[in-house]
């Protein structure tokens, strides 16, 4: 079960890195000075990245909880 806990923690860290990348992506998009439509298109991509990173992080945390319950 220890492997399940550490694997889940690793997956959560990867999800957290995705969230940091999303923050950096949005900050660069806002500083680029694009018009509203172009900025909205870039931010829609950031929303997809954000949701994917949150899903990955949540899945990792679920693995950690299951590993703790089973040990």
Q: What is the mean pLDDT of residues 20-26?
A: 95
Report the pLDDT value the prediction gives residue 33, as an integer from 0 to 100: 85
Q: Identify whether the C-beta of residue 12 lies closer than 8 Å to the C-beta of residue 67.
A: no
What digits encode the pLDDT tens for the residues 31-66? 998 888 989 999 999 999 999 999 999 999 999 999
> Residue 34 has what pLDDT?
86
Q: What is the pLDDT of residue 71?
A: 87
Mean pLDDT of 19-29: 94
Neighbour-count burial for 59-70, b at 16+ CB within 10 Å, e otherwise: ebeebbeebeee
pLDDT of residue 1: 84
Give pTM, 2 decimals: 0.85
């Amino acid at each position: 079960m220890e492997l399940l806990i550490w694997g889940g923690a690793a997956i959560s860290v990867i999800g957290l890195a995705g969230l940091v990348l999303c923050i950096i992506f949005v900050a660069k998009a806002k500083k680029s000075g694009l018009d509203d439509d172009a900025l909205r298109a870039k931010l829609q991509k950031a929303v997809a990245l954000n949701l994917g990173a949150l899903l990955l992080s949540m899945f990792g945390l679920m693995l950690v909880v299951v590993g703790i319950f089973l040990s």
